[in-house]
Amino acid sequence: MPQSRPFVSLATDFGAAYTAICAGVVYGIAPDANVLVLSDEITPFDVREGAMLLRQALPYLPVGVHVGIVDPGVGTSRRPLAIATGRGDVLVGPDNGLLVPAAEVLGGVTGAYALENPAYRLPQVSTSFHGRDVFAPAAAHVAAGADAADLGAAVEPLPLDVPPPVVRPGELTVPVLYTDRFGSLVLGAEPGDLAAAFGSLEPGTPFDVEWNVADGPSRTARVPFQLTFGSVAVGEPLLWTDSSGWLALGVNQGRAADALGLAGARILTLRAEPRP
């Protein structure tokens, strides 16, 4: 690591206590490390949400070793791995797609390695706390100077399981990536996808949004495209580009997931008249 003090970040769905244990393991192996808990509040088991947090946050953190853990498959045959990136970071976590979007924005994957070498684990490995026993020790050893390639065999990391947006003239179908703490839905499409489906858009352009929840009847809402929350009245919905560059659906000073009945929606379809 290029810093005089190696930098390690932790992002988990563990809550404070279990994440602090992971930080303690890192300090025990790499006492000079500067350890940041990026988040211990990822929604439990929500791999997409964790992946998007890492993708959004890691470019703003120092080059270092970044641990991401949202691991519903802990203790199964899923691999633990470390991913080296073009920027010089090493990402450590489960091989379930969690780390790949962040690696792509950090210069791409330059190598990926299964965490197999027992020298870089704790002596006893549980079946349910690989954050403590596998991921934190591996990250600490890399921060202390170990080469990621020493951790185990080279592997091909699994991609994140997210369907791509579907673009048609006058229609855009998008996956919901996650719901943030404000109740806004972050969508798996970018402004370029919106332009490809609808052409040049002016603020205020209305969209008809359709979705299904839990196999129930489809629901719809009329939502304008806007640049800021303040462009709509308090309690009114909007479609905008959020700070991560994704499209998002929110309510000014409200929760779109609740106000529009969007909780549990996985796919949204946006429709409007295409413009030249």
Q: Domain of 89?
A: 7-150
Token duo for residue 4 = 């005089």
Q: Where are the beta strands (DSSP E) in the chain?
A: 7-12, 34-39, 65-69, 80-85, 90-94, 109-114, 166-168, 171-179, 185-187, 206-211, 219-224, 237-241, 247-251, 267-271
User: Within this chain, do residues 129 and 171 fall inside the same structural domain, yes or no?
Assistant: no
User: Within this chain, do residues 181 and 216 fall inside the same structural domain, yes or no?
Assistant: yes
In this structure, is residue 155 part of a structural domain? Answer: no
Residues 249, 239 contacting (CB under 8 angstroms): yes
**Cα–Cα distances in Å, from 66 out to 58, 85, 163, 201?**
8, 11, 26, 38
- Number of domains making up the chain: 2
User: Within this chain, do residues 142 and 170 fall inside the same structural domain, yes or no?
Assistant: no
Domain boundary among 119, 150, 181: 150
User: Within this chain, do residues 179 and 210 fall inside the same structural domain, yes or no?
Assistant: yes
* Residue the block writes with tokens 């579907």: 166
Burial (CB < 10 A; 0-12, 13-18, 19+), residue 101, is buried
**Cα–Cα distances in Å, from 198 out to 185, 193, 219, 246, 267?**
20, 9, 21, 16, 18
In this structure, is residue 157 part of a structural domain? Answer: no
**What is the pTM (predicted TM-score) of this model?**
0.92
User: Within this chain, do residues 18 and 90 fall inside the same structural domain, yes or no?
Assistant: yes
pLDDT bracket for residue 3 (50, 70, 90) = low
**Cα–Cα distances in Å, from 241 out to 9, 14, 49, 122, 228?**
27, 29, 17, 43, 9
| pLDDT tens track for 109-120 | 999 999 999 999
**Cα–Cα distances in Å, from 38 out to 13, 17, 64?**
11, 14, 13
Kindly tell me if the per-residue pLDDT of 103 is higher than 50: yes
**Cα–Cα distances in Å, from 29 out to 111, 137, 245?**
24, 7, 37
Domain boundary among 150, 179, 199: 150
pLDDT (mean) for 93-104: 98
| CATH at residue 240 | 2.40.30.90
Kindly tell me if the per-residue pLDDT of 2 is higher than 60: no
User: Within this chain, do residues 207 and 255 fall inside the same structural domain, yes or no?
Assistant: yes
How many CB atoms within 10 Å of residue 46? Answer: 17
State the helix-helix crossing angle for 16-29 and 136-143, rounded to 10 degrees: 40
User: Within this chain, do residues 108 and 146 fall inside the same structural domain, yes or no?
Assistant: yes
Domain boundary among 80, 115, 150: 150
For residue 4, what pLDDT is reported? 80
In this structure, is residue 160 part of a structural domain? Answer: no
User: Within this chain, do residues 117 and 188 fall inside the same structural domain, yes or no?
Assistant: no
Residues 90, 65 contacting (CB under 8 angstroms): yes
Q: What is the CA radius of gyration of the chain?
A: 21
| pLDDT tens track for 189-228 | 999 999 999 998 899 999 999 998 877 788 999 999 999 9
For residue 29, what pLDDT is reported? 98
The one-letter code for the residue type at 124 is: Q
**Cα–Cα distances in Å, from 185 out to 10, 235, 265?**
24, 15, 9
